[in-house]
Amino acid sequence: MIQDGRETSTPGMAPPSASGAHHVVSDTPGASVIVRHAPLLIVLSGPSGVGKTTLTKALLAQGWQGYVMVTVTTRRQRLGEVDGVHYHFRTEEEFQELIARDELLERAEVHGNWYGVPARPLRERLAIGQDVLLTIDPQGAQTIRTRTKGGVYIFLAPESLSELVARLDARNLDSPEQRTLRLLNAEREMAQMDRYDYVIINRQGQFDAAVEQIKAIITAEHCRVNPRIVEV
């Protein structure tokens, strides 16, 4: 109930947490069970070229109501990419200014470019109870893990490294040097898989299965008896 502008517990209800998550178990026969879930911070990670962005787009296309974080980067803008939609494209100088103002929750240099996660929009979306999906490389995921609490960590993996090579070749977006660096990093990143809560294998020709799996993970997390409480 609400008293003097404050939410308080009622008989049969556990006191709400700071994020508003609580469960109701009533002793009254026939009474409804009311469950309010805390928002999720979903961290989707994996090697470059494995399909993280494609998976995120498919999730949104199928009606997921969460918010996808837009990362800041110094990487060169590619054909078809829109500033503020795919990334916030910034110069090296602008990126350093964001760091100086402490506006990035996480930052990392990956494949010779800087990437960072803006802190304010992430906190704002969680504060209104909206799930937030963060698509990030494993290096950045480790930083998020140390600076936040309560996240759901999902590793998207290729069926094999040879399949990942084929994906990168098909994209044809990198110089030979960048491609070599991505593959070297991929081997190291795959070794971090056991640090995650879930693993989804993005098998060739079975992309729809990967989409269904991430949807199932999100549903399962919202059905937890003891919800994760995100602290950012």
Strand partners, 87: 83
Inter-residue contact 182 to 49 (CB < 8 Å): yes
Write the burial class of residue 197 (CB in 10 Å: 0-12 exposed, 13-18 middle, 19+ buried).
middle
Q: How far apart are CA 94 and CA 101, in angstroms?
A: 11
Mean pLDDT of 169-194: 79
> 6-20, 171-185, 200-214: which range is least confident on average?
6-20
DSSP line for 137-164: -HHHHHHHHHH-BS-EEEEEEES-HHHH
**Residue with the larger pLDDT of the pair 143 and 168:** 143
User: What pLDDT digit, counting tens, does each position of 90-113 carry?
Assistant: 999 999 999 999 999 999 887 788
**Residue with the larger pLDDT of the pair 216 and 172:** 216
**Residue with the larger pLDDT of the pair 166 and 149:** 149
Q: How far apart are CA 4 and CA 165, in angstroms?
A: 61
Q: Would you list the domain boundaries of the chain?
A: 41-222
Question: CATH says 41-222 is which class?
Answer: alpha beta
pLDDT for 211 beyond 50: yes
Q: How far apart are CA 114 and CA 72, in angstroms?
A: 8
User: What pLDDT digit, counting tens, does each position of 29-74 carry?
Assistant: 665 555 566 899 999 999 988 999 999 999 999 999 999 999 999 9
User: What pLDDT digit, counting tens, does each position of 111-124 carry?
Assistant: 788 999 999 999 99
Mean pLDDT, the chain, rounded, equals 84
